[in-house]
Structure 1
Amino acid sequence: MSDLFWLTDKRTRRIEPCFPQSHGNPRLDEKRVLSGIIFVIRSGLRWRDAPRDYGPQKTIYSRFIRWSRLGVFNRIFAELSAKGPRPERLMIDATHLKAHQTAASLLIKGLLPGRIGRTKGGLNSKLHAVCDGHGRLLVLLLSDGQMSDYKGAALMIDALPKAKAMLGDRGYDADWFRAALIQRGITSCIPSKANRKVHTDHDWTLCRQRHRIENMFGRLKDWRRIHTRYDRCAQTFMPAIAATVIFWL
């Protein structure tokens, strides 16, 4: 059974203060349940197909839903990322996540928006991310698939930590974004678009390090329930991403 546990005792102690307090009867071991949640997200299984070694499948699913609504996973991600060293440079990018038909049915039923849009020939979501120079995630934002990169950057600009430089691709070549970075004391390293009349200079050597955020997206999409979105509500899909990041943060 120990081979199935993804979380070590050291990792569990780091995030244990973020779990809600137990009331009444003692709960199932958080390490055991959280390891089962991570296993399901990683393998892309249905919740009822989780190995019995993690405990009752109903308990794993209900704990994930309840912790998602309480913001437990988002709080753990925020605290772990805040405890890291101050980054010298930031990297920003976005990627598309394909929405499975079970998630896309939310649009047909006319319920609350689930951050699913139609682009690239199908229904998908768009994940905007900011990481440090080592590829460690700092800020996450989920939006509709058709949202442009610089609009996503506008929603994340207030959450950016202090840094010396910001690396991005041509999708973030906007005058207002460069000006907003300058106000925060951040130097932009963003190539100019082909249609820009006056091209801006940038450090090509520094820009080559942007592959680290692409590598981060590759690692994130190794988790099958993230690469293909099965959760209809953004309220439960974002905690799934946060739980993924918790494991290798």
Structure 2
Amino acid sequence: MTRRRYELTDFEWSVIEPLLPNKSRGVARVDDRRVLNGILWRFRTGSPWADIPERYGPYTTCYNRFVRWRKACIWDRLLQAVSEAYDGDIIMIDSSYVRVHQHGANGKKGDQDDGCMGRSRGGLTTKIHALVDAEGGPIDLRLSAGQVHDSRPADDMLDIMRANTIILADKAYDSNAIRAKAKERGAWANIPPKRNRKASVTFSKWVYKQRNAVERFFNKIKQFRAIATRYEKNPLNFLAAIKLVAALVGIRSL
């Protein structure tokens, strides 16, 4: 059988399969690879769940298994397995806006913040925060409302810092707290200073050029239309989708 576009290659499946649940109760479940291909088809095209082609089985099976495995932390485990391949001394952090589709917007007024949605210049948006390695491989991912400042989620995400780590980030992350945390851990925050910064800081433009890896990471995950535009009302489902896609991007870079 010829592999269709968007579907997992044999190598990708060989990495993912051991991380999936291998025990099922009662009736044997539908083939995992087929269902996962259906889930990825949905995220790649941005189509409604109900439009998943019949060759991947009932769309309800794809949706229910995606949510069930999200609750079982399968997608977290997959991302963690990919991120463990990181063994370098350069990490980079950045964020990217995602427009919230009208189908993804919460119906009740005032609920946007709870769903990681907020008003910014682009309208109703969600912000994806990503921490990646020198090759653009995912390490950590978070969501926030669109108007949340980049430095707020960065504090927890940068806990991975260790001695001799180099942190690359743009001016939005130029805060005394981040620089102090890096210094305390023996790391170097190579972040361009804001214009209003009075104290001088060490900054290398040559090293900073490597920061485009995190921008390439966002470009890759946003090739999946359901990531580039948010259709999910539930922020946990949206973050799980990003983790699945990011893990796949990481596997393809191996």
Q: TM-score, normalising length from structure 1?
A: 0.92
Alignment-derived partner of residue 30 in structure 1: 32
How far the C-alpha of 1:146 sits from its partner, in A, is 1.0
5 Å-filtered alignment, 1:99-178, equals 99-108=100-109, 110=111, 113-160=114-161, 164-178=165-179
Q: Is the 8 A contact 1:128 1:140 kept in 2?
A: yes
Alignment-derived partner of residue 219 in structure 2: 218
Q: Deviations over 1:163-187 (max 9, x none)?
A: 5211111111111101111222211
SS at match of 2:79: helix
User: Which stretches in structure 1 are left out of the alignment for 5+ residues?
Assistant: none
How far the C-alpha of 1:162 sits from its partner, in A, is 6.4
Q: Deviations over 1:194-242 (max 9, x none)?
A: 1112231211100111111111111111110011100001111111101
* RMSD, matched Cα: 1.9
Alignment-derived partner of residue 46 in structure 1: 48
CA distance 1:190–1:110, change in 2 (3 Å): closer
Partner Cα separation in structure 1 for residue 82 and residue 97 of structure 2: 25
Partner Cα separation in structure 2 for residue 124 and residue 111 of structure 1: 9
Q: Which moved more, 1:151-160 or 1:108-117?
A: 108-117
Q: Which moved more, 1:26-35 or 1:61-70?
A: 61-70
Partner Cα separation in structure 2 for residue 162 and residue 67 of structure 1: 35
Q: Is residue 70 of structure 1 aligned with residue 72 of structure 2? A: yes
- AA in 2 matched with 1:246: A
Q: Which moved more, 1:15-24 or 1:94-103?
A: 15-24
Q: Which moved more, 1:180-189 or 1:31-40?
A: 180-189
SS at match of 2:215: helix
SS at match of 2:18: helix
Residue 60 of structure 1, aligned match among 40, 59, 62: 62
CA distance 1:126–1:17, change in 2 (3 Å): same
- AA in 1 matched with 2:83: S
Alignment-derived partner of residue 3 in structure 1: 3
Alignment-derived partner of residue 196 in structure 1: 197
How far the C-alpha of 1:57 sits from its partner, in A, is 1.4
Q: Is the 8 A contact 1:7 1:247 kept in 2?
A: no
Partner Cα separation in structure 1 for residue 147 and residue 112 of structure 2: 19
How far the C-alpha of 1:131 sits from its partner, in A, is 0.6
User: Which stretches in structure 2 are left out of the alignment for 5+ residues?
Assistant: none
- AA in 1 matched with 2:87: R
Partner Cα separation in structure 2 for residue 216 and residue 144 of structure 1: 20
Q: Is the 8 A contact 1:181 1:187 kept in 2?
A: yes
How far the C-alpha of 1:9 sits from its partner, in A, is 3.1
SS at match of 2:96: strand
How far the C-alpha of 1:160 sits from its partner, in A, is 4.5
The percent of aligned pairs where both chains have the same amino acid is 35
The number of aligned residues is: 248
SS at match of 2:241: helix
Greater percentage in helix = 1
Partner Cα separation in structure 1 for residue 67 and residue 25 of structure 2: 18
Partner Cα separation in structure 1 for residue 14 and residue 164 of structure 2: 29
- AA in 2 matched with 1:134: E
How far the C-alpha of 1:110 sits from its partner, in A, is 4.4
Q: Is the 8 A contact 1:129 1:141 kept in 2?
A: yes
Partner Cα separation in structure 1 for residue 72 and residue 120 of structure 2: 31
CA distance 1:75–1:106, change in 2 (3 Å): farther
CA distance 1:13–1:106, change in 2 (3 Å): farther
How far the C-alpha of 1:161 sits from its partner, in A, is 6.4
